[in-house]
Amino acid sequence: MTTNTQLNSAGTERPVGSRSGPAAARYRQGGTTALAIVFLSIMLFPVYWMINASLQPNGTTLQTSWLPLAPDFSGYATAISQQGRNLGTSLMVALGSVVFSLAIAAPAAYALAYFKVRGAGVVLFAILISQMIPGIVVANALYTAYNDLGLLNSIPGLILADSSHGIPFAILIIRAFMNNMPASVIEAAKVDGAGHLRAFWSIVLPLSRNALITAGLFTFLFTWSDFLFALTLTTTDDVRPVTLGIYQYIGAYVNDWSSVMATAVLASIPAIVLLIVAQKYVAAGTAGGAVK
């Protein structure tokens, strides 16, 4: 049996019907793009259905059409009137957790990165282990302590609780970034007469912007999506994050799913906006960064 061949540009033989060169590259790229579109569509479909259901007239999701041909925004009006306070509570707790976590994590990361601390490896290992402790264990322990300290049903109490997850992660991210900064930068600041505090504030923090934004963003997302601490540490309606509000909003007999979905859409907006705005900083921060 014979095979038809022809000479390619390099003078070697190849089968006539084979794909190679730019045509084959375009074919593979097109297949990869199509596959990516399929997977992206599957992952984004729940988001689309959430938005679609929020624009439907009041009713169950079983009666929802595939397209919001006659969009009804009454669900958003109901969500804002009934869940607006909860959204504000979540925003205050999330921003407070970001500020508190970075205020603790940045100096700790600087000390672990540049000071010759005895037992630094043990400290880092303990920080890593703390990320593996189930949240329900921490929540139950905090409930007892908060009950004695009077921090139940309070925004500061939720900020402290959510920061217990944000601080260890922020320390690991920021320290990894600071380890890649040249020591000559700190030494030059010391030669100019700057102490550790001045070097940290004026040199290290500005150069660590990407890592700080990355750690702050993930801390915000952790806090914004928290449900366990909100459920355990709040027992009244005075302080109720939106995650707990949606949970109690659904209840056992819900006939107004458009309002529920509208609340979910509103709760997703801050996270989506932050991810879009900070994506380039997150990419640089997670990669460790470099300083010239």
| CATH code for position 253 | 1.10.3720.10
| Cβ contacts of 184 within 8 Å, gap of 6 or more | none
CA 54, CA 217: separation in Å to the nearest integer? 27
Number of structural domains (the chain) is 2
Of residues 226, 113, 123, 116, the one with CA closest to residue 166: 226
> Both 39 and 172 in a single domain?
no
> Both 113 and 190 in a single domain?
yes
Average pLDDT, the chain: 82
- The answer to whether residue 85 is domain-embedded is yes
- The answer to whether residue 116 is domain-embedded is yes
> Both 218 and 138 in a single domain?
yes
> Both 21 and 90 in a single domain?
no
| pLDDT, tens digit (0-9, with 9 covering 90-100), for 163-216 | 988 999 999 899 888 888 877 777 787 777 777 788 888 888 888 888 999 999
pLDDT, residue 61, reads 57
> Both 220 and 106 in a single domain?
yes
- The answer to whether residue 21 is domain-embedded is yes
User: Two tokens at 160?
Assistant: 């402290």
> Both 90 and 42 in a single domain?
no
pLDDT, residue 143, reads 92
**Confidence band (pLDDT; 50, 70, 90) for 291?**
very low
Q: What does pTM read for this prediction?
A: 0.80
Q: Is-contact 218 52, C-beta < 8 A? A: no
Q: What domain range includes position 220?
A: 75-286
Assess whether pLDDT exceeds 90 at residue 96: yes
- The answer to whether residue 129 is domain-embedded is yes
